[in-house]
Amino acid sequence: MISPTLFITIALYLAGLSYFLGALIYALPLPFPSLKQWGPTMMKDAIYVTVWVMIYNIVLSVADSILNLLGVNWTNFLTGLQNQTIELGVINFVLNFLGGGGLKSVSNFLSGGTTTTFITTISVSPSSSQVFSVTPFSKLQLVGEFIKDTGIVNIFASIVQDLFLFYLSVYILSVLIYNGTPLFITFGIFLMSLPFRIGRSIGATFIGTSLAFYIGLPLMSAFDSLIASAIYGAYTPPLAIIGQYIVEYLVARIAYIVLLAAIAGGLSRAIGETAEELPFKIQRYI
Amino acid sequence: MFGLASSLLSLITSIMSALSSIAQQALNQETTLLLTIALYLAGLSYFLGALIYALPLPFPSLKQWGPTMMKDAIYVTVWVMIYNIVLSVADSILNLLGVSWSSYLQTVDSELGSLLEVYGYIIFLLVLTFIPKFIVHNPQLVARGGWAGIIIYIASFIINLALKLEHTRPVLASLATQTLSLFVFESVIASVSIIIYNGAPLLIVMGVLLMALPFRIGRNAGAMLIATTLVYYIGIPAMPLVLNKIEEAIIFGTPSTYLTALQSLEIDPFIFVPSAGPILNILSFEFVNLQLAYFFALSGFVFGLADMIAGSTGEEIIKVDEYYKHKSGGNEEEEEEED
């Protein structure tokens, strides 16, 4: 069973292994400085990992108390995000239905699928006569076709679809971070405890990323309000409402997540001196 | 319909102006608050650094954080002091270039208005094409007595007009989609510009705040935020200065020229429908391709400036092209339809 306790235990044993491997290398009677310098390095790393094993619970509760101090709450954040995602999904469905000529098929269905075709000849003007093939055409069908032709529904549908997919991926990421932070941090400690610094940078990245996102993601609404106050500032072209909507809910949120990723990189570098690429790339889903 | 639209727009404008006065105050308060927090954090970093410097522990990798963090804190304090000066330097660079934010925003506003007007005209033509269809498919309306003669006469007149328009309905639909997607893209650019214009002090102060976090946690993020804001603050209003020369040299006209030409064609639908497609293609080249190329060039400056501020760079923050990447698929389909 994979659990934080398991990772912590393994990490502690591995730290011991690293320490004694380091001591062994330190004591080896071999004249290779490049090998010998692993000795103190690995002993120091093992002590560092042991410190992390001791403080990881404290780090988690410090993160929680920072969230408390900032007045944000994971439960509220997740509930709000879930509701918004569901709303966007419904709007997405309706817009796709309208844009795909859904009204037409509904009216076909309601009229019982009658497809009797009759041909009438209407003299249009004295000079020419045109032949129309006329099917029973309801007003609903015409409206549906008109909506499809204006293109407005299709464009809004594609915007809403982007928003929906983005919110869905942010929601999944949030659930992952909220439920998995203890596991990710202990897994990071486990990776950092591998001998010869094999997993040091990726372990630090795991710890840094999950901590930065654990504190940063619920603060998204605060960033939203900052951007909103900037966007409704001194001068605003009144026509750019669609663009404002896209920028406020898509571009600004992507920017926020990119910023969080940069902070995660900085935190990882503070923890492990070097950092890898992020384990999950939210911005690639956009 | 147009009267209703214009009254709606004026209502929106008045709401926006009411909101903006509230928002401006909130913006100033938030900027001051963030600046204060940044200063406090810089102090925290400094004294943490001093504490680590003074710790009696024999770990060089820990001890080397001491001078680093103290230096960083002093650097951030300098940024807190000069951020206003940096903004006024940016303003004076704009003055030297002879460009201004208000004229740029007015240009964008008028371009957006023209695009919306062209879209309204295309929708008007689309409605015209649907009227005869409606009459043909509801013959009982024509056959009903009383005003029959007049109604049939008018209907036949409209049908006559529409018989030529009817064949152009797919073209009209694709023109409508193309115009609207151009409008959406341009309004995204406009909104990003407005965020940069109104929020420049706020964004720079946020960057300083991120840089003030201890242990260099937010150094890259803050530097990228400051660099993005500064480069876009100078670069976006200078966009017409650069792009208009290129446009006049390569395709013999700026977007406003082509938009005016498009609007002047609106008198006659039989000239408008065939010639709007090529003009819209040129416009989409100017609006989308050239502007994205310009933003790409700006991001190069952003990386350079962030490197100068923090000694390293992060990832690009404002991703206009990322947003447009999959939107271009729609345009290609439309071009195929027109062929």
Query: Is residue A58 one of the residues assigned to a domain?
Result: yes
Write out pLDDT tens, residues A146-178. Answer: 777 787 777 888 888 888 888 898 899 899 999
Measured CA to CA, the distance from residue B302 to residue A101 in angstroms comes to 45
CB distance A125–B156 less than 8 Å?
A: yes
Write out pLDDT tens, residues B307-319. Answer: 898 877 667 777 7
CB distance A250–B191 less than 8 Å?
A: no
Give the highest mean pLDDT range of B2-11, B128-137, B325-334: B128-137
- DSSP reduced 3-state for A133: strand
N- to C-terminal Cα separation, chain A: 34
pLDDT surpassing 90 at residue A20: yes
pLDDT surpassing 90 at residue A188: yes
| Higher pLDDT pick, B316 / A246 | A246
Q: What domain range is A97 assigned to?
A: 53-102+148-285
Write out pLDDT tens, residues B209-218. Answer: 999 998 888 8
Query: Is residue A23 one of the residues assigned to a domain?
Result: no
> A144 with A101: CB under 8 angstroms?
yes
Among A41-50, A182-191, B324-333, the minimum mean pLDDT is found in: B324-333
pLDDT surpassing 60 at residue A183: yes
pLDDT surpassing 50 at residue B137: yes
CB distance A230–B27 less than 8 Å?
A: yes
CB distance A243–B317 less than 8 Å?
A: no
| Higher pLDDT pick, A102 / A18 | A18
Q: Is B26 on the interface with A (CB under 8 A)?
A: yes
Look up residue A141 and give its amino acid.
Q
The pLDDT of residue A134 is 41
The pLDDT of residue A123 is 37
> A162 with A286: CB under 8 angstroms?
yes
pLDDT surpassing 60 at residue A207: yes
Residue B294's pLDDT band, with cuts at 50, 70 and 90, is: very high
The pLDDT of residue B149 is 55
Among A248-252, B93-97, B125-129, B134-138, the minimum mean pLDDT is found in: B134-138
Among A34-48, A199-213, B84-98, B135-149, the minimum mean pLDDT is found in: B135-149
CB distance A266–B216 less than 8 Å?
A: yes
Write out pLDDT tens, residues B44-71. Answer: 999 999 999 998 888 788 888 899 899 9
Interface test with B, best of A219, A235, A256, A277 (most B CBs within 10 A): A235
Residue B191 CA neighbour count, 13 Å, CB half: 29
CB distance B59–A44 less than 8 Å?
A: yes
pLDDT surpassing 90 at residue A241: no
Nearest chain B Cα distance for residue A125, angstroms: 7
pLDDT surpassing 90 at residue B155: no
- Backbone phi, psi, residue A130, to 5°: -115, 150
A109-146 b/e (C-beta count within 10 Å ≥ 16 → b): eeeeeeeeeeeeebebeeeeeeeeeeeebbeebbebbb
Measured CA to CA, the distance from residue A268 to residue A277 in angstroms comes to 10
The pLDDT of residue A277 is 66
**Residues ≥6 apart with Cβ < 8 Å to B238:** B94, B97, B99
Among A29-33, A62-66, A281-285, B175-179, the minimum mean pLDDT is found in: A281-285
The pLDDT of residue A233 is 55
Write out pLDDT tens, residues B68-104. Answer: 899 999 999 999 999 889 999 999 999 999 999 989 9
Of A237, A266, A273, the CB nearest to B112: A237
| Higher pLDDT pick, B26 / B12 | B26
Residue A246's pLDDT band, with cuts at 50, 70 and 90, is: confident
The pLDDT of residue B324 is 57
The pLDDT of residue A114 is 45
User: What residues of A are in contact with residue B327 (Cβ under 8 Å)?
Assistant: 158
Query: Is residue A119 one of the residues assigned to a domain?
Result: no
CB distance A125–B330 less than 8 Å?
A: no
| Higher pLDDT pick, B123 / A286 | B123
> B188 with B18: CB under 8 angstroms?
no
The pLDDT of residue A77 is 92
- DSSP reduced 3-state for A120: strand
CB distance B317–A146 less than 8 Å?
A: no
- DSSP reduced 3-state for A117: coil
Write out pLDDT tens, residues A76-112. Answer: 999 999 998 999 889 888 887 776 666 666 666 655 5
* Stretch B142-168: mean pLDDT: 63
Nearest by Cα to A217 from A257, A167, A162: A257
The pLDDT of residue A54 is 92
Average pLDDT value for chain B? 81
Average pLDDT value for chain A? 80
- Backbone phi, psi, residue A145, to 5°: -65, -40
* Stretch A5-34: mean pLDDT: 92
Interface confidence, given as ipTM, is: 0.78
Compute the radius of gyration of chain A from its Cα atoms: 30
pLDDT surpassing 50 at residue B336: no
The pLDDT of residue B173 is 87
The pLDDT of residue B272 is 84
User: What residues of B are in contact with residue A148 (Cβ under 8 Å)?
Assistant: 173
Query: Is residue A42 one of the residues assigned to a domain?
Result: no
pLDDT surpassing 50 at residue A249: yes
Residue A186's pLDDT band, with cuts at 50, 70 and 90, is: very high
What are A12's two structure tokens? 């502690």
**High-pLDDT (> 90) share of chain B, %:** 24
Among A215-224, A268-277, B125-134, B179-188, the minimum mean pLDDT is found in: B125-134
Residue A139's pLDDT band, with cuts at 50, 70 and 90, is: low
**High-pLDDT (> 70) share of chain A, %:** 78
The nearest alpha carbon in chain B to A137 belongs to B137
**Residues ≥6 apart with Cβ < 8 Å to A59:** A185, A211
| Higher pLDDT pick, B309 / B165 | B309
Query: Is residue A93 one of the residues assigned to a domain?
Result: yes
The pLDDT of residue A122 is 38
Of A227, A228, A254, the CB nearest to B319: A254
> How many domains does chain A divide into?
1
User: What residues of B are in contact with residue A145 (Cβ under 8 Å)?
Assistant: 130
The pLDDT of residue A213 is 93
CB distance A132–B197 less than 8 Å?
A: no
Query: Is residue A30 one of the residues assigned to a domain?
Result: no
| Higher pLDDT pick, A207 / B266 | A207
Residue A283's pLDDT band, with cuts at 50, 70 and 90, is: low
Of B187, B195, B319, the CB nearest to A227: B195
User: What residues of B are in contact with residue A244 (Cβ under 8 Å)?
Assistant: 187, 191, 194
Measured CA to CA, the distance from residue B68 to residue B59 in angstroms comes to 15
pLDDT surpassing 70 at residue B6: no
Measured CA to CA, the distance from residue A192 to residue A189 in angstroms comes to 5
Write out pLDDT tens, residues A119-138. Answer: 333 334 444 433 343 444 56
